[in-house]
Every structure is written in structure tokens, then in C-alpha cells.
Structure 1
Amino acid sequence: MPRRFLQRYMPKPDTLKRQRSLRFMAPLIADPRLWQLTRRNVANAFSVGLFCAMLPIPFQMVVAALGARFCRCNLALAAGLVWITNPLTMPLVFYGNYRLGTFFLGTPLREAPSRISTSWIAEQMHDIMPALVLGSLVSALVLAVTANVAVRLIWRWHVSHHWKRRRHKRRRRRARIEAEFDD
């Protein structure tokens, strides 16, 4: 992953420390290890952020921030990746997690009424929760491990590709200089 690309879109720690709403988190934000962009930090941040995004819990960003602190990975990426499950995508993701959970538990799917209401969800929550939690945990683990491996491989490929390009440019430049001396 290109470090410069990520740095361009990441918030600066000093800017976040100056915001009144985040002052209570100043000790957490002040740790410079949570803002480094290394292959390991970014890969672990993807794992933490995507794991927390798949969990059917409130305050996913807080959990991701605490997970970033615990795993010593990039705080901004971990908290930002939680927004993959935003209010538009959350119903689809959690329905998929529920279906995955029913598959593993071997339970039948609950039929949804023609109009889903919060009262219907509250009544069915006792039956839905085990499958939703299991499916969410399975998808969170699979997504976290896959993302970690993928980021590490992409980062490694990008670095090796960059080094090969630099080596090729150096060879061309050296050949051009040698050709000038030969003339």
C-alpha cells in the first residue's frame, strides 16, 4: 500500500487533539505508535476495523479504537473501516451474517413479514440472536484474517514493484551514460 496515499487521507493527530469533543481521548490519540503507517500497523488496522464492522453491536468505532490501542495498530484506519457497515449497508450485511449463522447452527430461516417493524424485530430477537452472533463472528474472523493477509501481500507487491522500477530506471540511466562515454 502506498504510504503517501494513506497519509494524504488520514487525519492528523494534532488536529484531533485540538477538538473539544475528543479531548477526553487525548492520551489515546497522543501515542505516536497508533499513527504509524507500516505494513504491520496497516494490516492489523484492517483486521481490527473489519472485525468490529461485522459485529452487531452499537459504538463499533469505540470498540475499534480500543482494539487499535490493544493491538498497537493504526487508530484512524481501524476506526474508519468500521463505516463499511453504515446505515445503508448494515441491514444487508447483518442479514447475510444471520443466514450464515443459521447455516452453521442448522436452524431454519425466519420468514420476514411483508413490513418489517421494530416491534417485530424486538419480538424475534430471542430467536434471531444466536444465529446472528455466530454468523457475525464467523464472517468477522474470516474477513479480518483475509484482509490482514491481503494487505500484507499487496503492500509487499507494491514495494517490490517499486524497487524493480527503480532498478530498471537505474540500468537505463547507466546504459545511457555509458553510451555517451563510448561516443
Structure 2
Amino acid sequence: MPRRLLQRYMPHPDVLKRNRSLRFMSGLIGNATLWVLTRRSVGNAFMVGLFCALLPIPFQMVVAAMGAWLLRCNLPLSVGLVWLTNPLTIPIIFYANYRLGAWLMNTPARHVPEQINIHWIAAKMADILPPLILGSLVAAVTLGLASNLIIRLIWRWHVARSWKRRARRRRHAEPN
């Protein structure tokens, strides 16, 4: 995996520790094991970050940080991946999760009216919430596990490819 590329875009822990709004988390930020880039830590970080991103809960970044701490995976990746669900993508992702949940529960999905407003959402919340939660959990677990597996496979493929390149260079560099 391109470790140097990931390190280039990751913030430095010392910069984050000096940030006023993050001082309460300085112990967590200062933990060196949460900044390591290995196949395991990056794969688990993708799993935690994408799992938290698909959950319809507040404070997803805090949940992702605690998940990174519990699984000892890369903290900045887990927290950064939560931004997959941002103000532009939340309606699309949560509607897809709702449709998945409605399909799994074998219930008809509610159709969205021409004009969505708070009153419509509040009136339909009891009908919307169970399929949304089920769909979000299924999508989060599936995407989290799949991303972990895919990252680990890509990482292994990249390492094997670099070993083969190195061996090829050595064979060509050896005097016969």
C-alpha cells in the first residue's frame, strides 16, 4: 500500500495536540499506536470509519475515534472516513439505507413527497426509523468488512509486486 502517500496527507499528531479544541483528546491523539500505517491498522481503520459513516447517529467522528482506540487502528483514517457522509451525501446514503432496510423487512418503502418538510418527516418517523436502522446496520457491517478485506488484499498485492520488482532488479544488477 502506498504508505508514503497516506503519510503525506495525514496530519501530524503534534499539530493536533496543540489545537485548542482537541486538547481534551491529547492522550488519545498522542498514542503512537494509533498513528501506525500497517496492513492491519489501515484495514481496520477503513472498517471502523466506513461503519461509523453509515450509521444514522450524531457524533460519528467521536464514535470512530473510540472505535479506532478499541481496535488499535489508525486514528486519522478512521475519523477522516466518517466524512464519506457529509451534508451533500447524507440524504442519498440514508435513503439507500432506508430502502435496503425496507426491502429486508419486506415492507413497502415510503415514497418521498414533492416537498419534504419537517412535519412530514416527524409524522412518518415511526415508519421510517426501523427500516433505516436495519438498512444502515446491514450496509455498515457489509461495507466495513468488505473494505477491510479489500484493503488487506490490495496491501498484500502491492507488497508482493514490490518484492517481485526488487528481485527482478537484483537479478539484472548481478554480474554473471
Residue 181 of structure 1 aligns with which residue? none
Q: How does 1:13-52 map to 2 (within 5 A)?
A: 13-52=13-52
Residue 151 of structure 2 aligns with which residue? 151
Unpaired segments of 5 or more residues in structure 2?
A: none
State the Cα deviation string for residues 94-116 of structure 1 (Å, max 9, x = none).
Answer: 00000000011111111211101
TM-score by length of 2: 0.98
Establish whether residue 6 from structure 1 lines up as the match of residue 1 from structure 2: no
Residue 115 of structure 2 aligns with which residue? 115
RMSD of aligned residue pairs (Cα, Å): 0.7
Point out the structure with max Rg over C-alpha.
Answer: 1
Q: Give the C-alpha shift of residue 18 in structure 1.
A: 0.5
Q: Give the C-alpha shift of residue 30 in structure 1.
A: 1.1
Q: 1:138 and 1:66 mapped to 2: Cα distance?
A: 21
- Match of 1:113, as an amino acid? P
Q: 2:63 and 2:118 mapped to 1: Cα distance?
A: 25
State the Cα deviation string for residues 144-169 of structure 1 (Å, max 9, x = none).
Answer: 01000000000000000001011111
Q: How does 1:133-148 map to 2 (within 5 A)?
A: 133-148=133-148
TM-score by length of 1: 0.94
Q: 1:126 and 1:148 mapped to 2: Cα distance?
A: 34
Q: 2:56 and 2:26 mapped to 1: Cα distance?
A: 28
Percent identity between matched residues is 62
Q: Give the C-alpha shift of residue 67 in structure 1.
A: 0.6
Residue 124 of structure 2 aligns with which residue? 124
Unpaired segments of 5 or more residues in structure 1?
A: 179-183
Q: 1:74 and 1:120 mapped to 2: Cα distance?
A: 40
Residue 72 of structure 1 aligns with which residue? 72
Residue 91 of structure 2 aligns with which residue? 91
Q: 1:158 and 1:101 mapped to 2: Cα distance?
A: 36
Runs of 4+ in 1 over 2 A off after TM superposition: none
